Amino acid sequence: MTAVRPAPSEFRRRFAAGEPLVGTFVKTPSSHAIEILGGLGFDFVVIDEEHAPFDRVAIDQCLLAARAAGTAGIVRVAEPTPAKLLAVLDDGAMGVLVPHVSSAAKAREIVSACRYRGGKRGFSNTTRAGGHGTLGLWDHVDAQDRAVTVIAMIEDPEALDELDAILAVDGLDGVFIGRGDLTVALGTAGIEAPEILSVVDRITTAAKAAGKPVAIMVGSGEEAARFRARGASAFIVSSDQGFLRQAASRALADVSRVAGPAAA
Q: 140 catalytic, yes or no?
A: no
> Parallel, antiparallel, or unpaired: how do β-strands 174-177 and 72-76 relate?
unpaired
Count CA atoms within 13 Å of residue 122 on its CB side. 12
CA distances from 7 to 42, 95, 178, 185, 202 (A): 12, 14, 27, 38, 33
The whole-angstrom distance between residue 83's C-alpha and the CA centroid of its chain comes to: 19
What does the alpha-carbon distance between residue 90 and residue 60 come to, in Å, rounded to a whole number?
A: 9
Angle at which helices 179-186 and 194-210 pack, to 10 degrees?
130
Q: Which residue type is seen at 45?
A: V
**DSSP structural state of residue 8:** G
Catalytically annotated residue among 51, 100, 132, 140: 51
What does the alpha-carbon distance between residue 131 and residue 221 come to, in Å, rounded to a whole number?
A: 37
- Active site amino acids: 51
